Amino acid sequence: MRLIYFDVDTLRADHLGCYGYNRPTSPVIDGLAARGLRLDNVHASDTPCLPSRSALSTGQFGIRNGAVNHGGIGTDLLPEGARRGFRTEAAAHSWMAPLRDLGMWTTSISTFAERHSAYHFDAGFNECLNLGTRGIETADQVAAVARDWLLRNGHRDDWFLHVHLWDPHTPYRTPSSFGDPFDDEPVPTWLDEEVRAAHWLLPGPHSAQELAGFGPRDVWDRYPRQPHQAASMDDVRRIFDGYDTGIRYADDQIGQLLDVVDVLGLTDDTAVMVTADHGENLGELGIYCDHQTADQHTTRLPFVLAWPGLHGPGRDGVGRDGVGRDGVGSEVGTPAGLGPDAVDTGLHYQIDVMATVLELAGAEVPERWDGSSFADALRSGRPTGRDHLVLSHGAWTAQRAVRFGEWICIRTYHDAFHGFPEVLLFDLETDPHEQQDVAADHPDVVEHALARLAEWASDALAHSPTGVDPLWTVMTGGGPWHSRVDVPWYLDRLRATGRGRWADHFAAQGWPRPPGPALGVLGP
């Protein structure tokens, strides 16, 4: 069989038309969803970029594979030590290894491994094509390489092609020749002037006053679509327009590549999936143009799968009700089947979906994986999904979240100077953009979530080669890599920009925050 995996970096599910977005960002992806399967509740187990793709390539949570950071301690896969063979276990059981065993020719077109010095991601690919542009390329550059590859290799009987597009990622750099497709489209109504003004007084990297990090970055001056601050609603429009235009540009290039597949006569024998490494915060939690937390919008991914020859009940077989929502209970997806126009509402890790793709392709899922296939349930139209998910972040903040029912409960160990409380709780059904922390109003829900978190960590570490939580090692090593700033310098900036109370708050807490507990496990 033939399979194309479009990996659109930093892509929010709710900014695609097939997920209900009001702007026409994704006509091609929407068309794939209409003839296939859309999964509504897929989350990256670990974020952001390097931890997410490390989990994807190993099939394991970061707490087990060791990669939870972007630099320093906890960035690389755990060494295998004396058990390391001629071929590492990570390579032998990578996401590509089962496809190679089937005889598929596997190719990746991506600059990710070089950008993050994460070459373990390449394990199992027959060939890795790197543009050498370190993630600052545009979709047309990637598509040119992919088009050439398809013309040379498309008629092979069995292949897997990974095409990695970065365009929604900051800095927003869609070529000016593409125009401004959303000039006349309204921005999302939840982020109004009242919200923007409140955010203007918040601290932290990628806050409203510092979209580029902890302060201005001259390099962003090269990109006219990218604002430096959210100083007005005009800037807010530029943020949404820049992000959404990046999606539309990537979608357009996906369409052109699918046209090549069609011209080659391969459409009926080529599976196509579209997803991302993580999402993006565009004002949620006061964070703009980045992915720094274990919240809903950084961890949730789109996942669209069009798989020829697999047919289920489609739209008529999909219920819209019946999902368990008992406050502290389960959420199990309604039956979906595999299209056309099917929807699965169950909670899944991305590595669950990849395990499912392997099984659909006829491959065996490695036993050491944390991802679990639900292919049989999809084929039969049975409900799918986990009772809850535990989601981790270790590159900006140090956080873990529990996602269940309508809730997401976030436990913070290092807040990256955002001023988050130790526990946040949001009702995503009534507050999808995480504006109202209701932890104090629902102590039973918080207690339930933290108990699930403790159980998950205990079980994961019991099956870990070291028994030590890598997020704990990140904290003992000085905190997440992106948040290792000159603290007095940043506190001075806060005072100079009308946020002195936050500078005083962090100073009183003795920032940088001291290391976590000395038991090798972060407590709930």
The structure's pTM equals 0.93
State residue 333's pLDDT score. Answer: 58
State residue 380's pLDDT score. Answer: 84
State residue 314's pLDDT score. Answer: 40
Which residue positions in the chain have pLDDT lower than 50?
Answer: 312-332, 334-336, 515-521, 523
Nearest to 336 by CA among 362, 302, 358, 304: 304
State residue 512's pLDDT score. Answer: 61
Sequence-ordered list of residues with C-beta below 8 angstroms from that of 77, at least 6 positions apart, any chain: 54, 58, 65, 66, 67, 90, 120
- Domains of the chain in sequence order: 2-77+87-179+244-279+291-388 (3.40.720.10), 390-508 (3.30.1120.10)
**Token pair 């993050």 is at which residue?**
116
Query: Do the beta carbons of residue 411 and residue 423 sit within 8 Å?
Result: yes
The b-or-e profile of 18-49 (16+ CB within 10 A means b, else e) is bbebebebbebbbbbbbbbbbbbbbbbbbbbb
State residue 390's pLDDT score. Answer: 98
State residue 198's pLDDT score. Answer: 98
Going through 97-210 in order, the beta strands assigned E by DSSP cover 105-109, 127-129, 159-165
State residue 516's pLDDT score. Answer: 42
State residue 275's pLDDT score. Answer: 98
Q: How far is CA 336 from CA 311, 379, 387, in A?
A: 10, 9, 17
State residue 359's pLDDT score. Answer: 96
171-229 per-position pLDDT tens digit: 999 999 999 999 999 999 999 999 999 999 999 999 999 999 999 889 899 999 999 99
**Measured at the alpha carbon of residue 9, what is the angle toward residues 195 and 62, in degrees to the nearest 5?**
95
113 φ, ψ (degrees, to nearest 5): -60, -40
DSSP state of 187: P
State residue 510's pLDDT score. Answer: 82
Query: Do the beta carbons of residue 261 and residue 154 sit within 8 Å?
Result: yes
322-351 per-position pLDDT tens digit: 223 233 333 445 444 555 778 999 999 999
State residue 135's pLDDT score. Answer: 95
